[in-house]
Every structure is written in C-alpha cells, then in structure tokens.
C-alpha cells in the first residue's frame, strides 16, 4: 500500500499517512470549501488500510482550526480508528494543541469521549514551534 501525502494549503491540512510505519499525521487548518470532497480521499484510503493494518497505528492530529463540516469528517476517521482498536489492534491518537488554545483541547476531549481509542494530549507553545524550525 502506498503512503498518502497531501500538501497543506491555507484551507486544508497536510496529510501524511505512512502505512508501513503505522504513523499518520493531520496538521494545519481544515476549512476546505468542500470537506466531503477533501476527506473522501482520506477516508477511502483509510478503508484500504483497515484491510491490512500495521500492528501499531498512531495518529497525530495537530489542527489549529477546523470548521463543522471538517469536524464531522474527522469524527468519521475516529470511528474507523475505533473499529480498528475494537479488533484488538494497538491504536493511539496524539491530540496536539497550542497551550493557549483551550477550545482545541476541549474539542479533543470531546472526541476522546466519543471513542474508545486511547488519546494522548500534547500541548505546545508557539515559541517551541518557532525554535524547532
């Protein structure tokens, strides 16, 4: 299975899904004009991954902002991860958020409540991001 890589734009997140390593990343803003169209490729790709998943799957979600239609698509992805977790696969979600963004932390907590996949909450400061660049 080929990796899925979608370049980040001002309206869409960067997607970097590596099936061989079981490491998946969604990063940036998610305010596409048509969230269903954007995420359909991601969700379809993930359906293919579920046929032969890696022994460990780690999903890192680091979104600075997303709209309601993107929120719904992210929830669909989390439900797929929930199914993978329910079938005894090792799955973890790393929810990244700016330490000053309480709303994004709370949204992550809401998602964690809706699924049984273990969530790790990781805060960072913009200063750390700038220094790492």
Whether 15 contacts 51, CB under 8 Å: no
How far apart are the C-alpha atoms of 66 and 26, rounded to whole Å?
Answer: 12
DSSP assignment of 91-133: EEEEEEEETT-HHHHHHHHHHHHHS-S-EEEEEE-HHHHHHH-
d(C-alpha 127, C-alpha 83), whole Å: 37
Residue in 6, 29, 25 with CA at minimum distance from that of residue 95: 25
The enclosing H or E element of 73 equals helix 68-86
Domains of the chain, CATH where assigned: 4-132 (3.30.750)
Does 35 score more than 80 pLDDT? yes
| Position 133 pLDDT exceeds 60 | no
Q: What pLDDT does residue 132 have?
A: 45
Predicted model pTM: 0.92
pLDDT reported for residue 125 = 86
* pLDDT tens digit sequence for 1-31: 999 999 999 999 999 999 999 999 999 999 9
Q: Does the pLDDT value for residue 37 go beyond 70?
A: yes
* Percent of the chain whose pLDDT exceeds 90: 91
């Amino acid at each position: 299975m080929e990796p899925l890589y979608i370049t980040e734009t001002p309206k869409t997140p960067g997607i970097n899904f590596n099936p061989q390593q079981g490491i998946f990343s969604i990063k940036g803003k998610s305010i596409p004009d048509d969230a269903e169209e954007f995420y359909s490729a991601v969700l379809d790709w993930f359906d293919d991954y579920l046929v032969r998943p890696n022994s460990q799957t780690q999903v890192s979600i680091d979104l600075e902002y997303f709209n309601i239609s993107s929120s719904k698509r992210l929830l669909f992805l989390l439900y797929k991860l929930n199914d993978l977790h329910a079938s005894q696969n090792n799955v973890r979600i790393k929810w990244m958020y700016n330490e000053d963004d309480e709303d994004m932390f709370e949204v992550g907590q809401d998602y964690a409540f809706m699924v049984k996949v273990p969530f790790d909450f990781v805060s960072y400061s913009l200063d750390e991001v700038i220094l790492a660049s």
